[in-house]
């Protein structure tokens, strides 16, 4: 898809758009625009639509066209063909939960910012060798949580992370306090039942709570 509807920041810029990158599962493309608008109303200007549902690509296209003020990307990019399909649908960035050479080749070839998933120092080094220095730490809680990521900062001071997987309002601040973290990712802003019921007020409130610093 060609279009100028959304800004396309570089990966570092992406992490700076919001303290929380919502990971959004959309079963119904008809819910996409309303969900995006609710996040935006709550102060969240970026969202990752996971390629886990048949509706995901159409959802990305609709958001890109109808909610140009939110930066929409594709997540759960797990196969090389996902990368191109997401780019054509209008995704402005790609997030992978892990990495293979073919997957990263395809993702980088789109020209879009890519956040590759890593869980270990070795995986982070592999990504960095390709010039990918802004990474998704996944699954964050299961991979050692803030303690692990804090330890990464010693040998890998130039890498930045968006920890995702098991992040909640209760533990997000512990990640955000780390020097190598600019944002966390999480699905809690867009609960499946709230999307299904079009409970946009709840999504907006969750977004606002996630973006409002604690008093
Ligand atoms: C992801 O795809 O990034 C994760 O499944 C999101 O994890 P969470 O549901 O624990 O936030």
* Structural domains of the chain, with CATH: 11-204 (3.20.20.70)
3-state secondary structure 19-33: CEEEEECCCCHHHHH
Q: How far is the CA of 130 from the centre of ligand 1 (A)?
A: 25
Report residue 173's pLDDT band, with 50, 70 and 90 as the boundaries.
very high
Residues in the chain: 215
Q: What is the pLDDT of residues 35-61, one digit of tens each?
A: 999 999 999 999 999 999 999 999 999
Q: Look up residue 47 and give its two tokens.
A: 């969202």
Q: What is the pLDDT of residues 109-126, one digit of tens each?
A: 999 999 999 999 999 999
Q: Is the pLDDT of residue 171 over 90?
A: yes
How far is 27 from 39, CA to CA, in rounded Å?
A: 17
| pTM of the shown model | 0.94
Q: Is the CB of 61 under 6 A from ligand 1?
A: no
Q: Which has the higher per-residue pLDDT, 215 or 146?
A: 146
Q: How far is the CA of 6 from the centre of ligand 1 (A)?
A: 24
Name the closest-CA residue to atom 5, ligand 1.
165
- What is the structure's pLDDT at 2? 37
Q: Is the CB of 164 under 6 A from ligand 1?
A: yes
Cβ(144)–Cβ(123) below 8 Å: no
Residue to probe by mutation, ligand 1, list 143, 186, 191, most atoms within 8 Å of CB: 186
Give Cβ neighbours of residue 136 (< 8 Å, ≥ 6 apart): 95, 96, 97, 115, 116, 117, 118, 161, 162, 163, 164, 185
């Amino acid at each position: 898809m060609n279009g100028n509807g959304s800004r396309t920041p570089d990966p570092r810029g992406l992490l700076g758009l919001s303290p929380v990158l919502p990971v959004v599962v959309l079963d119904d493309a008809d819910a996409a625009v309303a969900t995006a608008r609710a996040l935006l109303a709550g102060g969240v200007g970026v969202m990752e639509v996971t390629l886990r549902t048949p509706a995901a690509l159409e959802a990305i296209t609709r958001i890109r066209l109808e909610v140009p003020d939110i930066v929409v990307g594709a997540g759960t990019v797990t196969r090389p063909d996902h990368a191109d399909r997401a780019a054509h649908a209008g995704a402005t960035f790609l997030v992978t939960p892990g990495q293979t050479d073919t997957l990263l080749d395809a993702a980088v070839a789109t020209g879009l910012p890519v956040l590759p998933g890593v869980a270990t120092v070795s995986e982070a080094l592999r990504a960095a060798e390709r010039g990918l220095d802004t990474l998704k730490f996944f699954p964050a809680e299961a991979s050692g949580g803030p303690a692990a990521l804090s330890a990464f900062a010693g040998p890998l001071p130039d890498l930045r992370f968006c920890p995702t997987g098991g992040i909640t309002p209760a533990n997000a601040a512990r990640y955000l306090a780390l020097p190598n973290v600019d944002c966390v990712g999480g699905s809690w802003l867009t609960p499946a039942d709230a999307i299904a019921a079009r409970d946009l007020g709840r999504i907006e409130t969750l977004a606002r709570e996630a973006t409002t610093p604690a008093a």
